[in-house]
Structure formats: structure tokens, C-alpha cells
């Protein structure tokens, strides 16, 4: 019985291996932030070349427009994750990217050791290099989630159409009540500076200096947030720690316009139009690679 079950499972795996490249991606849907983090990390670790320009950061940098960035860039930005995780992935991969853009907003966050262990486990790496069905993209649940998501979305549209709510809600932006609640939450969260920022800045400096000595150009930047949050204790302390370790006359920084009230969806994540403005500036500045060197 056990032997038969093992043979059946093996047959199903082999069939899925050959079927997977032909499955339509229309209904592909990653199930949550952490699954997306694993997907991005695996794509960089197993598929992309060391010559790819990298953007390291948090979910703030995930808002950057991939089409405007172009194929030479890859966003190794991890939602709810630390820039140190991305830097450690580069180190363990043994990569020497020509250009690394580093968001400093979440300087106080720690490395995700569980993700790194999963990513560089020898036996898992061997399976994933053999077949994509063992990668995050190969999880059957991703297709189930996509189908369910499409069905629910279509049902909601039909329900709104029949009830007339689609006309009433068309053109509406962020829910004002929800936005106000999120702003109160972030104001409370940012009221206290995270501990150990100088040590974290020093640790970041070690990574940056190692990359620079191997030929990479490292560029630091702070993603803009709502102006009422930007100078609270936590963002200000992070900014001061980063600038103290990386003085702007010695290290490369991207400077975004400060005389502009950036629009956000929740206080810290830019709306798409604002993220497009930042992306445009980023592409323009980093295209001057000879000037940066």
C-alpha cells in the first residue's frame, strides 16, 4: 500500500513537471506577502544573472513601476522584510551586481533567517534547479488562489452592477475613514525610534563597503512618505543614523523633491502616480552610471 502511494505520488510529480510550463499564467496568484517574498528571492537566487541591477528595500519600494524601470532592474524588495535579507542573499549567491539601490526607511528591521535557510538549503536548491515545480511559482495553490480570486472579483462586479453601487463608487479613492485610522496607527508607531540604529547603520555600511570593493556602485535612498509622518521620531532617527554613517559627500544618495506633498494610500506607501514620479527620477539618476562611478 505504501509502495503504491509513493509510486502514485511520483507519477503525479512527473506529470506536473511536464504540464507546468504549459499552464496559463492568467490565473496565477501568490497567496500573501510572505509567499511573494519567497517568489522574488528565489527568482533572483536561481534565475537572474549577477549583472542585474538590484533595488533592495521593503514594500515601499515594491510600488516602483517595473515597466518604467525596464528589464535591467530587479526589485529584490521584501514586503515586511529587511534590506539586510536582500544584502545577505547577494552575499550568499556570490553576486557582484553593477548597481545596487538601497532603501533605508526600515533600517531597524532584522534579517529573515528562515527565508535564507529555505533559499540556500542544498537539497532544496538541487530540487529547484532541476524543476520549477519545487519553486514558489510551482505551488498548485497559486493557481487555485488565482481562480478563486477571479471568481470572487467577477461576482463582486456583477453584484455591484445589479445593485447600482458601481456607479455610486466609481472614481472614489482611498476610504477616508480607513486612511485616518491608518494614519493614527503610523503616528503612534513612529513616535518611538527603534533601538540600535547606529549599530544597524554600521552593519549596513559593512555590506555597502564590501559591495563597493567588489566593483558594485551602491546608491542609498529614502522613499518619501506622508509629510505629517516624515519628521516623527522614528523616521527622523533612521534618517540621522543613515546620514551619519553614509555622509552625502562620500556616498551616493538619490535625492527626491522635498517641496512636494506626496500622496499615499495609507501614509507610507505611495499612490501609483507618485511612485511613477519617483521611478522616473530613479531611472534618470542611475542612468548616469559614469557620473556615479
Q: Within a domain: residue 275?
A: yes
Q: Within a domain: residue 78?
A: yes
pTM comes to 0.85
Q: Within a domain: residue 171?
A: no
Q: What is the pLDDT of residue 155?
A: 62
Rounded to 5 degrees, φ, ψ at 75 are: -90, 95
For residue 70, pLDDT beyond 60 = yes
Q: Within a domain: residue 233?
A: yes
* 140-185 tens-digit pLDDT: 777 666 666 655 566 655 655 565 555 444 444 568 889 899 999 9
CB 204 within 8 A of CB 102: yes
Rounded to whole angstroms, the Cα distance separating 271 from 263 reads: 6
Q: What is the pLDDT of residue 125?
A: 87
Q: What is the CATH number of the domain that holds 153?
A: 3.40.50.1110
Q: Within a domain: residue 156?
A: yes
Rg of the chain, C-alpha, whole Å: 22
Rounded to 5 degrees, φ, ψ at 57 are: 175, -155
Most confident of 15-24, 110-119, 137-146: 110-119
Q: Cβ atoms within 10 A of the Cβ of 126, count?
A: 10
Rounded to whole angstroms, the Cα distance separating 183 from 193 reads: 17
Question: What residues make up the domain containing 273?
Answer: 2-166+176-292
For residue 235, pLDDT beyond 70 = yes
Rounded to whole angstroms, the Cα distance separating 261 from 24 reads: 41
Q: What is the pLDDT of residue 169?
A: 40
More reliable by pLDDT, 293 or 246: 246
Cell of 290: 559614469
H-helix or E-strand spanning residue 100: strand 99-103
Q: Within a domain: residue 150?
A: yes
- Sort 44 into a burial class: Cβ within 10 Å, 0-12 / 13-18 / 19+: buried
Q: What share of the chain is helix, strand, coil (3-state, %, to 5)?
A: 60, 10, 35
* 237-256 tens-digit pLDDT: 999 999 999 999 999 999 88
Q: What is the pLDDT of residue 253?
A: 94
More reliable by pLDDT, 187 or 148: 187
For residue 259, pLDDT beyond 90 = no
Q: What is the pLDDT of residue 171?
A: 41
Largest CA distance in the chain: 71
For residue 49, pLDDT beyond 90 = no
Q: Please report, rounded to a whole number, the percentage of residues in the chain having pLDDT higher than 70.
A: 81
Q: What is the pLDDT of residue 118?
A: 93
Q: Within a domain: residue 282?
A: yes
Domain total in the chain? 1
Q: Within a domain: residue 123?
A: yes
Q: What is the pLDDT of residue 139?
A: 76
Residue-averaged pLDDT of the chain: 85
Q: What is the pLDDT of residue 56?
A: 97
Please name the residues in contact with 45: beta carbons below 8 A apart, sequence gap of 6 or more.
Answer: 89, 92, 93, 119, 120
- From 76, 39, 78, 71, select the one nearest 54 (Cα to Cα): 76
Please name the residues in contact with 281: beta carbons below 8 A apart, sequence gap of 6 or more.
Answer: 254, 256, 257
Cell of 286: 542611475
Amino acid at each position: 500500500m505504501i509502495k503504491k502511494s509513493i509510486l502514485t505520488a511520483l507519477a503525479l510529480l512527473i506529470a506536473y513537471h511536464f504540464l507546468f510550463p504549459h499552464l496559463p499564467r492568467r490565473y496565477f496568484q501568490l497567496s500573501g506577502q510572505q509567499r511573494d517574498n519567497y517568489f522574488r528571492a528565489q527568482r533572483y537566487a536561481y534565475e537572474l544573472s549577477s549583472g542585474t541591477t538590484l533595488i533592495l528595500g521593503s514594500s515601499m519600494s515594491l510600488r516602483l513601476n517595473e515597466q518604467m524601470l525596464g528589464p535591467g532592474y530587479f526589485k529584490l524588495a521584501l514586503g515586511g522584510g529587511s534590506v539586510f535579507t536582500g544584502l545577505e542573499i547577494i552575499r550568499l549567491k556570490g553576486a557582484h551586481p553593477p548597481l545596487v539601490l538601497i532603501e533605508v526607511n526600515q533600517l531597524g528591521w532584522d534579517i529573515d533567517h528562515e527565508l535564507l535557510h529555505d533559499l540556500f538549503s542544498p537539497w532544496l536548491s538541487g530540487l529547484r534547479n532541476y524543476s520549477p515545480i519545487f519553486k514558489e511559482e510551482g505551488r498548485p495553490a497559486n493557481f487555485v488562489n488565482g481562480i478563486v480570486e477571479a471568481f470572487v472579483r467577477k461576482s463582486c462586479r456583477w453584484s455591484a452592477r445589479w445593485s447600482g453601487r458601481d456607479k455610486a463608487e466609481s472614481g472614489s479613492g482611498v476610504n477616508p475613514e480607513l486612511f485616518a485610522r491608518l494614519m493614527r496607527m503610523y503616528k503612534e508607531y513612529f513616535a518611538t525610534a527603534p533601538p540600535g540604529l547606529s549599530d544597524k547603520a554600521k552593519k549596513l555600511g559593512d555590506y555597502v563597503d564590501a559591495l563597493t570593493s567588489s566593483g558594485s556602485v551602491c546608491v542609498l535612498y529614502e522613499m518619501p512618505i506622508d509629510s505629517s509622518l516624515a519628521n516623527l521620531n522614528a523616521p527622523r532617527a533612521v534618517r540621522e543614523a543613515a546620514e551619519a554613517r553614509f555622509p552625502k559627500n562620500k556616498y551616493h544618495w538619490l535625492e527626491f523633491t522635498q517641496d512636494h506633498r506626496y500622496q499615499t494610500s495609507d501614509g507610507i506607501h505611495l499612490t501609483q502616480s507618485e511612485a511613477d514620479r519617483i521611478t522616473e527620477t530613479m531611472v534618470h539618476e542611475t542612468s548616469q552610471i559614469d557620473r556615479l562611478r
